């Protein structure tokens, strides 16, 4: 396994720690499970993703940073894929 470093909001870290404690797992195991459970977005190319990010930023007057817009688009894609999988 390879190690990666990522910065997460305090609220997400707290949520991971609560779940890990309740399930008697370590936080890394909980994170790996959550990542493995994400629906696949294989049909979305990087070009399409970034075009969508730019469109979102433009439509709302560029009030979001690129990073914030990327998070919004990624969250929407994940939600759409999970809805698709549940039907």
**Two tokens at 35?**
């990542």
Residue 24 has pLDDT above 90, yes or no: yes
Q: DSSP letters along 6-43, please?
A: ----HHHHHHHHHHHHHHT--HHHHHHHHHHHSPP-TT
Residue 20 has pLDDT above 90, yes or no: yes
Find the length of the chain. 87
Residue 7 has pLDDT above 90, yes or no: no
Per-residue CA distances from 80 to 38, 70, 74 (Å): 11, 15, 10
In the chain, what are the domain boundaries? 1-37, 40-87
Nearest to 56 by CA among 75, 73, 78, 43: 73
Chain segment 31-87, per-residue pLDDT in tens: 888 877 765 656 778 888 888 899 988 988 889 889 998 988 888 887 777 776 666
Q: 């894929």: which residue's tokens? A: 81
Instruction: Please tell me the predicted confidence (pLDDT) of residue 23.
Output: 94
Instruction: Please tell me the predicted confidence (pLDDT) of residue 49.
Output: 85
């Amino acid at each position: 396994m390879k190690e990666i470093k990522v910065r997460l909001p305090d609220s997400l870290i707290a949520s991971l720690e609560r779940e890990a404690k309740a399930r008697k797992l370590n936080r890394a195991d909980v994170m790996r499970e959550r990542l493995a459970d994400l629906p696949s977005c294989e049909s979305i190319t990087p070009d399409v993703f970034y075009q969508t990010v730019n469109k979102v930023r433009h439509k709302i007057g560029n009030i979001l940073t690129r990073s914030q817009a990327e998070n919004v688009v990624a969250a929407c894609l994940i939600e759409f894929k999970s809805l698709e999988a549940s039907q």
